[in-house]
Copies of this chain bind each other. A is one copy, B any other.
Amino acid sequence: MTNPLPPGSTIGILGGGQLGRMLSVAAARLGLKTHIFEPGANPPAGQVADRVTTAGYDDLTALSAFAQSVDVITYEFENIPTEALDHLEALRPIHPNRKALATSQDRCVEKQFLQGLGLNVAPFAQIDTLDDLTAALATIGTPAILKTRRFGYDGKGQVKIDDIAEAKTAFAALNGAPAVLEGFVTFEREVSVIAARNQNGEVSCYDPGENVHLSGILHTTTVPAQLTLAQQTDAVILAGRILNTLDYVGVMGVELFVTATGLIVNEIAPRVHNSGHWTQNGCLIDQFEQHIRAVAGWPLGDGQRHSDVVMTNLIGDDAYSKGANIGLHLYGKDIAKPGRKMGHENRISPISK
């Protein structure tokens, strides 16, 4: 590797939620420290990180001090203000890079990028005005989904349109935010590939997982996914193409629809991903360590699966099992709000294929 960070180095992480928490734990395993930057008080990651800075993304003094205290910067969520990134990037390397972040921050840019690679995406149209929406509905048809181009997650910032007559109400619901209309895809199943690429361009993908959502939030990921060998190969190859094209360093979540006519890319996330949490109990090296290895300039680890896994998210006040046979992961959050991710469970069994 060009410049692998030695043990004792510090990884700066933007965002102090559960993903930052699990990244911190993975870094600690490798003898690396983490420094969390997070505007909110008492972030879950703070309980396991070496340092925490509590400051806003507009606090340039805090951002500078943070950057100067770390060796490399990464992030656990994609909606980081551009000005903060500009400021940080002048001081320390940021992985994954700005291009990956800019591409995935905007649903319209993302889909154009994926189409440019020759990959299939749902039919879509950029929506800036009500006229755009009416015209797009005429082409794409209903049902369709109107989504904000930015800042959406877990089903937020989305309106389903079942009839063209709902166009005006739907458009108003987004409060003038730049949007994209997506055609509805009839799919057999949704899968995701957790892919990693390091600074030498080595790519490693975990076995695809099969996802089930409830109320727009990931409910379970099951590995192995029900895929033909051809579908599995396709999924891994297209993920590799995305990472290589972006000169990507780190872990990416690639969500795919499996349809009768092939795989359709739903969205990409330039970070560790909820649908990759199964790797914590199914693989020697999990997605969090893989991400840390990549951003630290290390060789990737072995992502081989040793067990089958069903990962179940614990949302709000979902009961969790203190019982046996389950790898339990709780995030250290004080208050269990409805819809809030509080933890997850990995139920493992001997490998079936």
Contact = CB atoms under 8 A, between A and B. Distances in A.
Contact of A31 (B33, B281, B299, B330): B330
A243 B350 CA distance: 30
Contact of A324 (B25, B299, B307, B328): B299
Contact of A4 (B29, B322, B324): B322
A7 B7 CA distance: 31
A141 interface: no
A348 interface: yes
A13 to B, nearest CB: 14
A50 interface: yes
Given A332-B8, A332-B28, A284 B325 contact: yes
Interface in A20-35: 21, 24-25, 28-33
A29 B323 contact: no
B302 A326 contact: yes
A303 to B, nearest CB: 9
Centre residue among A1, A8, A327, A348 by max chain B CB count within 10 A: A327
Contacts of A188: none
A300 interface: yes
Contacts of A281: 284
A348 B25 contact: no
28 contacts: A1-B322, A7-B330, A8-B332, A24-B48, A25-B25, A25-B29, A28-B48, A28-B332, A29-B328, A29-B329, A30-B329, A30-B330, A31-B330, A31-B331, A31-B333, A32-B332, A33-B47, A48-B48, A48-B49, A284-B325, A284-B348, A285-B327, A298-B322, A299-B322, A299-B323, A300-B324, A301-B328, A306-B307
